[in-house]
Structure 1
């Protein structure tokens, strides 16, 4: 079960506000890791959230009995980090928000098993948005035996 994850963005406040909109949740300033960070809160019973840090922030381990910290590095490239987020919105509503933001978005069928809206935040950070119907497909596809069948390694030659 996912409680929260973090991503980096050029405009952390705006990105957090748009993610919160996808959940019909709220966005708040979130300075504990590094100044300029924001958090999108889903408003669900688990406190699901996405922390959005300034684009050049990396997390570093702090020595001894202390929390990790955000270090600004100047790095701004693409990232492999992504998440699949449930949303109560329809595909049309998601696409309208993406169009308003100028963020690329398209419907994709993953592994022929479940649909997602592939949304590229700021044109660089992928998020997969799942409408209620897509969530049902995802849950059916990702159940143990189904997942193993879909992603089992090929037989050795």
Structure 2
């Protein structure tokens, strides 16, 4: 189970608000990094997404130090890191929200199930699964698990 993951975006406050609307949870500041937020899903697992300012990188600490945050002005802002997340919203609501922000959103097949690629700020992709898509995903996973 994944409890949280982190991404870097240009407008942390705006993206936090949009993700909060999608996940229907709540937002808090992420104190270790200035201008950072956590979007909580308000589920039983403490699921959340941490939002750092664009070009933030995490480096390993020395000895017993925690990870260190640095800004890399050379960073492109794109990342291969993404997550597939089930949401309660329907396709129409997701596409309307994306359109209102000018963000790319497209439904695409992933084998035996579909996802909506939502591109936060047209830079960071998350895959959203509506309840119907999540059911298809779980069916596909069950078949994969059985070796079918």
**Normalised TM-score (structure 2):** 0.93
Cross-structure match for 1:103: 103
Cross-structure match for 2:9: 9
Superposed displacement of residue 4, structure 1: 0.4
Cross-structure match for 2:56: 57
Alignment of 1:141 with 2:140, yes or no, is: yes
Superposed displacement of residue 122, structure 1: 0.3
Cross-structure match for 2:128: 129
Superposed displacement of residue 148, structure 1: 5.4
Q: After superposition, where does 1:22-41 map in structure 2 within 5 Å?
A: 22-32=22-32, 34-41=33-40
Find the aligned partners of 2:99 and 2:71 in 1 and give their Cα distance.
30
Structure 2: 5+ residue stretches without partners? none
**Normalised TM-score (structure 1):** 0.88
Superposed displacement of residue 145, structure 1: 2.9
> Whose Rg is larger?
1
Superposed displacement of residue 76, structure 1: 3.1
Closer, same or farther in 2 for the Cα pair 1:56/1:148, shift >3 Å?
Answer: farther
Superposed displacement of residue 11, structure 1: 0.6
Cross-structure match for 1:155: none
Find the aligned partners of 2:61 and 2:20 in 1 and give their Cα distance.
30
Structure 1: 5+ residue stretches without partners? 150-157
Contact 1:140 1:146 in 2 (8 A): no
Find the aligned partners of 1:86 and 1:27 in 2 and give their Cα distance.
18
The Cα RMSD (Å) is 1.5
Runs (4 or more) in structure 1 with deviation over 2 Å come to 143-149
Closer, same or farther in 2 for the Cα pair 1:92/1:83, shift >3 Å?
Answer: same
